[in-house]
Amino acid sequence: MKSKKFFLGLLPAIFLYCMSAALLLACSDDKDEDENKPQNSIETLCHVMVSEDVLNVADVTVHYLNEKGEETTEPMTKTEWRKQWVTTTLPARLGVWAHLTPKASPKTTKDSYKLKAIATTGYLFRSADGVGVWSDGWINVEDPYAEAENVAAADVPGWCSKNTAVGCEVDAKGKGKLAEVTFGGNVPFFGSAFCEWIMELFGYHDYCD
């Protein structure tokens, strides 16, 4: 009889335990569903291109905002540098700048050099349903299709100091706008030529037709 009463006394505790376990399992399932639920994302791009003569007369350091929005630097030793990643962390900030420091002694001495530096940042927005949508992108003031500028040796330091950064902000719905980044100024460049240029960088052909 005593054991029966003891068991009956435990019923409320057993009931509460079972309810708690069920609640925890439900919360865990909800959390798993939230983690597996499709999210809006952006495929980002930071890109820098310089002429061979730029590497001849200057040390190039690329400053960019990484996937966490933190400023990161990398030395640039080839004529093209790029960084791409996909993130679901929105809003986001993108930015890139090629810092050109004139060399004390160029690798090859000339009377003039053909100089060109292009900094580009942009992104592709993908909604939670998986549809890819080209949104916005920006490039510094230089025309990516223009010929390199012929710069006299004495004018190289001044030319290097004019190089500008470019940056943008992307909201949670994928809408972007030009934004000033902490490591330089920004000048927008728009048009179909720009669309073709940056989509080629992403690997999408005939997208702007």
Percent of the chain with pLDDT over 70: 64
Three-state SS across 59-111? EEEEEEECCCCCEEEEEECCCEEEEEEEECCCCEEEEEEEEEEECCCCCCCCC
The dihedrals phi and psi of 110, each to the nearest 5 degrees, come to -140, 165
Provide the sign of the torsion angle of the four alpha carbons 8, 9, 10, 13, taken in this order: positive
pLDDT digits (tens, 9 = 90+) for 59-105: 999 999 998 889 999 999 999 999 999 999 999 999 999 999 999 99
- Give me the pLDDT at residue 200, please: 67
pLDDT digits (tens, 9 = 90+) for 157-171: 999 988 678 888 888
**Residues 6+ positions from 197 with CB-CB distance below 8 Å:** 120, 139, 144, 145
Per-residue confidence at 172, pLDDT binned at 50, 70, 90?
Answer: confident
pLDDT digits (tens, 9 = 90+) for 132-156: 665 556 666 567 778 899 999 999 9
> How far is 180 from 188, CA to CA, in rounded Å?
11
> How far is 90 from 97, CA to CA, in rounded Å?
22
Query: Beta-carbon neighbour count of residue 115 at 10 Å?
Result: 23
**Domain assignments of the chain as residue spans, ordered by start:** 1-37, 41-202
- Give me the pLDDT at residue 4, please: 47
pLDDT digits (tens, 9 = 90+) for 5-29: 444 454 455 545 555 555 555 555 5
